[in-house]
């Protein structure tokens, strides 16, 4: 009989396993990052104000993704743990709970679309054109958020049983559709009306909805280790507790980043809309830079969770060491590219001279802060896998709200020099890495060495 897919998490050589599981995730996440960047490139061709509007909308858009990823990570890790203990009925029940939570989150963001989008945009700018663009874009993204919630969930269900190739298909199809539809809807090609910023939002949500439908089909046809059984289903408070214990910190970690971006935009507003637009480009580039590392760390979560459930300390240690090494190499490679080529990168976004003056030194300085980021990202996934929710949650709060934002505000008020502000990112990231070193050593001794 062919080996059950999830069993490779406990048997396959670790280097081959991590490579096999992470490559499809990395490819799909890079495609996702590319279409986010392409989205901004097309919007920038409308005007710098249009790009600024999308930039100030991004924190809420990122919160949607944060909660989608967070809850799905919780579902994925718990499901993998049950499979490691050979409890397939419980694993299938976890998957159904994931569907329920995705539906609830979709409804919450419909409410946000109806009542909170306009106040949020008006808090960040007084320019009527930017306000109009921002409301148009964010309203559509929130109203149709069900696409991204279910797309991410179905990807994580495939990933949790080792079917990462199909994860790549699910996300890749959605992203490719978005890339194709972006110029058609934004500029009105092939007889379609010119929708501008609205067109970018419509292309995004259509890509996500189609990706979700593809993911559902693949889980039904290919994922033999879980079943969506609704007959006799009842809500389990124990399963919900475990999902939230693992996934809520992941959601809140990314949500904290979104709130931090909101405050960063308000700090940069004193330097004009070009500063906000330039940082918006940097944030998208940063997402692209981190995607391969996130792919490795996401692939590591089911491996660590499965082997934790199976009581295999040796494989957990192998997975951690290999993930940290690969993540650091990838981060350094991307950092070098950004430091050497900031001018052609900014030209892709139709940067104005003012935006170029701000953006070139910004990219080079912030890139230095990436050195410890690979290690920190992998550590966050380790903490999630071991249910160290408090540790995982406090790291981004420490990095951004205790160190980064106060430093940025202090430097702005004392110097008025925008180039000095970017140094705050370097200080914050290195402090966060020291924090991760301490708690990784502690958790490994207390949760792995003592229990396995």
Tell me the pLDDT tens digit for each residue of 231-277. Answer: 767 888 888 888 888 777 767 777 888 888 889 988 998 888 899 98
Three-class SS of residue 2?
A: coil
Q: Give CA–CA dist 286/276, Å, rounded.
A: 15
> What is the per-residue DSSP string for 123-182?
TT---HHHHHHHHHHHHHHHHTTHHHHHHHHHHHHHHHTT-HHHHHHHHHHHHHHHHHHH
Question: What mean pLDDT is predicted for residues 306-315?
Answer: 79
Contact call for residues 388 and 443 (beta carbons, < 8 A): yes
pLDDT for 7 equals 64
pLDDT for 205 equals 93
pLDDT for 250 equals 66
Tell me the pLDDT tens digit for each residue of 70-107. Answer: 888 888 888 877 877 777 777 888 888 889 999 999 99
Of 3-12, 192-201, 301-310, 352-361, minimum mean pLDDT range: 3-12
What is the DSSP secondary structure assignment for residue 5, as one 8-state letter? G
Q: Give CA–CA dist 178/171, Å, rounded.
A: 11
Of 148-157, 288-297, 346-355, minimum mean pLDDT range: 288-297
Rg (CA), the chain: 21
pLDDT for 420 equals 94
pLDDT for 2 equals 36
Q: Give CA–CA dist 221/419, Å, rounded.
A: 53
């Amino acid at each position: 009989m062919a080996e059950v897919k999830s069993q490779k998490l406990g048997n396959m050589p670790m280097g081959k396993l991590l490579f096999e599981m992470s490559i499809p995730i990395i490819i799909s996440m890079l495609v996702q990052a590319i279409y986010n960047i392409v989205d901004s490139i097309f919007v920038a061709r409308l005007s710098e104000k249009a790009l600024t509007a999308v930039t100030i909308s991004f924190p809420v858009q990122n919160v949607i993704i944060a909660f989608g990823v967070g809850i799905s990570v919780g579902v994925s890790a718990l499901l993998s743990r049950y499979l490691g203990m050979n409890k397939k009925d419980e694993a299938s029940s976890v998957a159904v709970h994931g569907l329920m939570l995705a539906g609830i989150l979709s409804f919450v963001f419909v409410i946000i679309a109806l009542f909170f989008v306009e106040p949020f945009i008006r808090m960040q700018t007084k320019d009527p054109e930017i306000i109009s663009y921002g409301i148009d874009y964010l309203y559509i993204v929130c109203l149709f958020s069900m696409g991204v919630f279910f797309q991410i969930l179905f990807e994580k269900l495939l990933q949790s049983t080792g079917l990462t190739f199909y994860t790549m298909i699910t996300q890749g199809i959605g992203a490719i559709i978005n890339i194709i539809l972006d110029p058609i809807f934004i500029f009105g090609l092939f007889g379609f009306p010119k929708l501008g910023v609205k067109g970018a939002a419509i292309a995004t949500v259509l890509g996500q909805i189609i990706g979700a439908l593809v993911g559902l089909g693949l889980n039904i046809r290919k994922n033999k280790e879980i079943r969506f059984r609704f007959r006799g289903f009842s809500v389990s408070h124990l399963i919900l507790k475990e999902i939230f214990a693992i996934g809520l910190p992941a959601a809140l970690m990314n949500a904290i980043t979104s709130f931090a971006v909101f405050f960063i935009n308000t700090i940069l507003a004193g330097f004009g809309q070009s500063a906000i637009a330039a940082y918006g480009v940097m944030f998208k580039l940063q997402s692209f830079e981190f995607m391969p590392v996130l792919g490795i760390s996401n692939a590591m979560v089911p491996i660590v969770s499965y082997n934790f459930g199976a009581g295999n300390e040796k494989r957990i240690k192998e997975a951690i060491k290999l993930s940290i090494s690969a993540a650091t190499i990838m981060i350094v490679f991307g950092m070098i590219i950004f430091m050497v080529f900031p001018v052609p990168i900014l030209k892709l976004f139709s940067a104005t001279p003012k935006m170029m003056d701000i953006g070139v030194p910004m990219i080079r300085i912030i890139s230095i802060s990436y050195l410890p980021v690979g290690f920190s990202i992998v550590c966050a996934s380790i903490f999630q896998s071991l249910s160290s929710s408090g540790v995982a949650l406090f790291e981004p709060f420490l990095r951004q709200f205790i160190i980064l934002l106060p430093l940025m505000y202090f430097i702005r008020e004392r110097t008025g020099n925008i180039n000095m502000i970017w140094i705050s990112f370097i200080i914050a990231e290195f402090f966060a890495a020291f924090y991760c070193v301490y708690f990784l050593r502690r958790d490994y001794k207390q949760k792995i060495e003592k229990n396995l």
